[in-house]
Structure 1
């Protein structure tokens, strides 16, 4: 979806490259049947606002949402049983809600989904990794919902026999020690699957039909069996891979190579401030995303209990894709603690402090400005965080609480249903 950039009112405090209209957001939850459509208005007279636009009854607790390039189709995981994935049509950029296309069964509860970009030389595929498996799906040419499972990769030594053994965990519990995501680098035409339990990153190329071709399993940096590598994203040019560790809350940077060993560790940075190093084990690294201009890296962590608040750390990225550090900064046991800025969350975040960066900027403007949608499972908050270079920090500029704030449109508007009270927000994406 292309962004349009009319000139906003000169009096607006936020008048810049952002399109001055409502932006719609789709979010899942960890503990209800609902998907939520949220409406973000950055130019409200009293400052930015975020509201519950409408709720949609879905498939069960929805952990993760992925969009296609056009942002008119959403692909969603669920923690409901039996394990499945669902596809949804996005109506009017989110204003009209979402409509389910279909549901497909999978062998184990899913985690993160990824949709292949059009720059890769095969039809659009959807990839999912969760626990003991990863899958590749084709899409229906007519509906662009799920079609055929083309491949299943099994991360168990006993293969398919072990997968279907009654002792094998195929529930959401397996996500804590299994595969967690399929992250695509379109420049090098590779896919990376971080595996929490094996403490390794599986490296793949693509076959002609878009299925995964195994190249290597690269051990993660640090103490094997202790780090819990969880999520990764590539740099813009594919020269670096950024990785967050769940058990130790580090940002690790790897240099990518065209041949074996494919990845080599370059640097390690702490997501939490140095004052918390002694209780590092009480944090859980979560997600990471690049800013729209590629000059900043946002990395999140959660608290293990309600006593520890989560964090979003901001790192400056240089032209090579490395984190820019001050010359006087010293390392402590090979770890750098300096971040450009750190934002302390309202609470621990529970099972999620997921982020997605606002993507609808004009191509030639908008430098040094981001909106992030930020989710919280503990209390059900969905927040909008804003970064401006002149602030040199993240600020929360709008917030809504699921299960408390009623929808303003749609069926049963103005009402909070009993079954949505205590809702924990999981992962949100920008529709428009």
Structure 2
């Protein structure tokens, strides 16, 4: 199979956009638009790829779900009101986990895949302050961003303003018990995005304000910082202002990729960095094996997700092994990058300029 689809949200348009990537012709095209309900900054899908979940930057704060059939037709399942605008949402087939600004929450997933009743709400600030603090999309700039749960039932919420990562124990009933608040190694780091290792032993975190990739060991009740590497080249550090976005593993788990956007400065472009991991999941070296400099600043986006599938059209064992998207709001581009581990290269494979004023934010691969 050489034609693959990804569904993207938009920073400036209420629609969702279904894109088609052809790995033989190396083209990325707009397949269709899907009516949406807000500026869907983040979308994700379940393991079966037949349910899609999205957050929104529009008011009021809400979560959304859709059914996806085999012909890539989308049927809206439900809309759920929440306390504060969530940035990211994740799921583990039983529950949906979302976070944004001062709160995070857990919702049960019903049998049809829709977002069901709330099972717990987490205040990342003193609960008595909840009524007076900002709960709009602006709050994610200094509040909670994501909510990831590992295979051992440990939940993690990076909180920019507190410069910390909140760690929870997630119960089988969808409850969350705070275990620790783990401060980032240096002041002003702003932890933004996390990714738990597949074995549940490690947590990878990218800092938005200081462009570091941090590796933590996950103990029973807290995080132990072990390694730190730069998500941008050393020669641009301190020369321009950047904002790091995402950390993602390669399909085989041997590498990590981070994405960083230039911030309000057209003299500098965004970057993707690649890091080699050892067999235990630690960084082989506390430096990237390569950097890819984007063609644009990436604006407020810099979203990145690695495809979950094997490219069966590529039979070269030393060739390209992973594709990933890279999103841009400065001009409205969606890029597809290719990773070749044999020579540690990241290269542009395909690109699409969104129509009108639409700009992509985050996306989910559907096949």
Q: TM-score range by the shorter chain?
A: over 0.9
Report the equivalent of 2:43.
Answer: 65
Pair member with larger Rg: 1
Deviations 1:199-230 (A, max 9, x none): 1111111112122221111111112xx11010
Q: Give distance in 2, aligned partners of 1:233 and 1:255.
A: 12
Q: Is residue 181 from structure 1 mapped to residue 146 from structure 2 by the alignment?
A: yes
8 A contact 2:2–2:311 mirrored in 1: no
1:187-266 matches, cutoff 5 A: 188-223=152-187, 226-258=188-220, 260=221, 262-266=222-226
Q: Is residue 427 from structure 1 mapped to residue 362 from structure 2 by the alignment?
A: yes
Q: Give distance in 1, aligned partners of 2:57 and 2:18.
A: 20
- 1:254 deviates by 1.1
Q: Give distance in 1, aligned partners of 2:323 and 2:337.
A: 6
Q: Give distance in 2, aligned partners of 1:171 and 1:208.
A: 30
Q: Give distance in 1, aligned partners of 2:15 and 2:307.
A: 23
Q: Give distance in 1, aligned partners of 2:102 and 2:310.
A: 38
Three-state SS of the structure 2 residue aligned to 1:275 is: coil
Three-state SS of the structure 2 residue aligned to 1:278 is: coil
Report the equivalent of 1:322.
Answer: 282
Q: Give distance in 1, aligned partners of 2:311 and 2:299.
A: 35
Three-state SS of the structure 2 residue aligned to 1:175 is: helix
- 1:162 deviates by 2.4
Further displaced range: 67-76 or 95-104: 95-104
TM-score, with structure 2 as normaliser: 0.95
8 A contact 2:311–2:321 mirrored in 1: no
Superposed CA RMSD in Å reads 1.7
Q: Give distance in 2, aligned partners of 1:266 and 1:222.
A: 14
Gaps of 5+ in 1: 1-19, 118-123, 326-335, 404-420
Candidates 102, 107, 116, aligned match of 1:132: 102
- 1:339 deviates by 1.1
Q: Give distance in 1, aligned partners of 2:350 and 2:175.
A: 41
8 A contact 2:44–2:363 mirrored in 1: no
- 1:362 deviates by 8.8
Gaps of 5+ in 2: none
- How many correspondences in the alignment? 362
- 1:388 deviates by 1.3
